[in-house]
Amino acid sequence: MNSIFIEEASKVATDPQVLINMVSKRVRQLSAGSRPMVSVEGRMGLADIALAEIAQGRLVVSKPENGEEPQE
């Protein structure tokens, strides 16, 4: 993983556990065949793509309401 992507994504998703969960879920989606929502440059791994999507605001977390599970 590229540390620059991590730093940029950390500015968007400030809670580390939420960031980990977002990246994990998105990596699973990408490995299952989902198309990246950002342009892939060079040798970006799936985690780098997920972090870039978060950093660019393509993936967002909605805050839970009334104790519901958060939606990504």
pLDDT band at residue 72 under the 50/70/90 scheme: low
**How many domains does the chain divide into?**
1
Q: Is residue 19 part of a domain?
A: yes
Q: What is the 3-state secondary structure (H, E, C) of the chain?
A: CCHHHHHHHHHHCCCHHHHHHHHHHHHHHHHCCCCCCCCCCCCCCHHHHHHHHHHCCCCCCECCCCCCCCEC
pTM of the complete model = 0.82
Q: What is the pLDDT of residues 49-65, one digit of tens each?
A: 999 999 999 988 776 66
Q: Is residue 68 part of a domain?
A: no
Q: What is the pLDDT of residues 26-37, one digit of tens each?
A: 999 999 999 999
Q: Which domain holds residue 25?
A: 3-55
